[in-house]
Amino acid sequence: MTGKTHIIGGISASLAYAYFSGSDPLILTGAGIVGALIPDICHGSSKIGRQLPILSKMINLIFGHRSFTHSLLFLVIITFLMNTFLSYETVTAGLIVGMVSHYILDMGTRSGIQLFFPLDFRVRFPLTTKTGSMVENLIFSLLALVSFYYGYHALYFYL
């Protein structure tokens, strides 16, 4: 999936989580966007990879693309680090929700993800799409609708 689809996925997942949890939607969504981009640090031409090129190249050389940073192990490590060094639950929840949305979207691509890293086994959905395809644009549009729906409800948090 492209960066814009991951961003809208992080937004929609974060707003939905805020709706059901009662968390601050603005903080959760900001963290969700960051979380939705973090797993692609292993890809040099991704939005986050272009911002941190040296780190991106190092991670890619060590692990490759869609392996460690797209795994449950990475998710657990990020959760542990966030809970240890930043005791703000809403930010941690947003990062995790954004990362999970990223994982789910990438499982919808033909190459899938190495969810159970270090096991050399890729997980993907039975129906997949190509990155940047018309189907991805449809997924983007559906996620935008979900974002508008939960974003509308998020306004009540501040009223």
CA–CA separation, 96 vs 87, rounded Å?
14
Is pLDDT at 108 greater than 90 in this prediction?
yes
pTM of this prediction?
0.92
> Which of left, alpha, beta for 22 (phi over 0: left; psi -120 to 50: alpha)?
left
Question: Is the Cβ–Cβ distance between 18 and 25 less than 8 Å?
Answer: yes
Structure confidence by residue, pLDDT tens digits, 9-59: 999 999 999 999 999 999 999 999 999 999 999 988 889 989 998 999 999
Confidence of residue 96 (pLDDT cuts 50, 70, 90): very high
Structure confidence by residue, pLDDT tens digits, 55-78: 999 999 999 888 999 999 999 999
pLDDT of residue 64: 85
Count how many residues are written for the chain: 159
Question: Is the Cβ–Cβ distance between 23 and 17 less than 8 Å?
Answer: yes
Residue-averaged pLDDT of the chain: 94
Is pLDDT at 102 greater than 90 in this prediction?
yes
pLDDT of residue 44: 83
pLDDT of residue 51: 92
